[in-house]
Structure 1
């Protein structure tokens, strides 16, 4: 209960600073109805996590007052419905023209990523390309891991899908993702499980092309 209460107070502090800009310890204590010592304890935790910064502000009379405000990092604590905007824009684009603009967008994205990562695959054997592909996906937030499969090929597992919100409505996203992996690995790649389709992960079986 104590931890829950502390989290709740900290959340109130962060929300207050988000709405009001910068505040002093005294101002925060009055608004929350707690002691300044309690406020400072929460501020120390937020500063430790790089979510808070402070400056000394001179007053017309009396001693300077330390004012606290949120850092840019704290912005990630607040809701961000980026996928909603993305889906809205894709829907508008889809309805604006007769062709397949969404599919073309994903194809262009795939081509751009191919150009970006192709050099990282040059001169590598299949195992090395699988390792590099896993690293590339991790850089993009896929939480990927690889291992040798019992048939002598390889398995790549991805436990997070950064594009899942979009891919649920636009299958082109998953198809282009698979094409990207196949092209970069220069191998036969089969998707055996997919997060978007209800799986616990995305899983790819990789083998040399025949």
Structure 2
């Protein structure tokens, strides 16, 4: 007889794998092994099971190709995001449709603004504690968002001298509890982006969203550095 505790442990591990794919995808099997501390065999078993259930899907991995089968990177599928979604997703959509139909579009914008105002109030002290540097504030925002279930992460992007997209940090959210509602009400994404700008102290740019069908919400946060003054040549006294 199989110990029921084994099934519980397997289920919890499977959930961890799904959430890490949500947070870091596209992500390869070796990266998942390193991140989760599982054996490659165990990890592949969980990923194969998630794939069979339609919760994750493969993408061709970027980077140099090796001989043999193309390397795969994994992302959460649309069905996987629905599995991660909270139970109030449909209720929130119905409520916002009621607000729009009875009070108008402005009321939806006011609701979105009030919603992110509460988020800003919760996060403000945490970000203020790390100082004014946008990169440090982004790291603090990642921690706060992850604690709220957004599966957030950040990584530096850009190289000196390259103006597109510039030097900065790419803030990613692998999960959004109102993803499907935001697909119908983009005001929620717009208000959140504006809140990020205020919290981070710089103008941020939203590059991709789960609501628009991307596998992750991506926000570019510029991290300006001080530009040294141009040296001047003193004139010789005549």
Q: How does the TM-score come out when normalised to structure 2? A: 0.53
State the shift of 1:99 in Å: 5.8
Unaligned runs of 5+ in 1: 1-37, 50-76
State the shift of 1:209 in Å: 6.8
Distance 1:150 1:48 in 2: 41
Structure 1: 4+ residue segments shifted above 6 A = 46-49
- Report matched runs for 1:59-208 at 5 Å: 81-98=87-104, 100-122=106-128, 123-151=131-159, 152-208=167-223
* 1:188/1:209 contact within 8 Å kept: no
Distance 1:117 1:163 in 2: 19
Distance 1:111-1:209 versus aligned 2 partners, 3 A rule: farther
* 1:143/1:160 contact within 8 Å kept: yes
Distance 2:143 2:98 in 1: 34
* 2:134/2:221 contact within 8 Å kept: no
State the shift of 1:167 in Å: 0.2
Distance 2:218 2:8 in 1: 40
Larger radius of gyration: 1
Per-residue displacement from partner, 1:49-96 (whole Å, max 9, x unpaired)?
9xxxxxxxxxxxxxxxxxxxxxxxxxxx9x974211111122122222
Unaligned runs of 5+ in 2: 11-82, 160-166, 226-238
Q: What is the DSSP-based 3-state SS (H/G/I as helix, E as strand, rest coil) of the residue aligned with 1:146?
A: strand
* 1:189/1:207 contact within 8 Å kept: yes
Q: What is the DSSP-based 3-state SS (H/G/I as helix, E as strand, rest coil) of the residue aligned with 1:188?
A: coil
Q: What's the Cα RMSD here?
A: 3.0
State the shift of 1:100 in Å: 2.2
State the shift of 1:208 in Å: 4.2
Q: What is the DSSP-based 3-state SS (H/G/I as helix, E as strand, rest coil) of the residue aligned with 2:204?
A: strand
Distance 1:208 1:192 in 2: 16
Distance 1:98-1:169 versus aligned 2 partners, 3 A rule: closer
State the shift of 1:47 in Å: 7.4
**Matched pairs, number:** 145
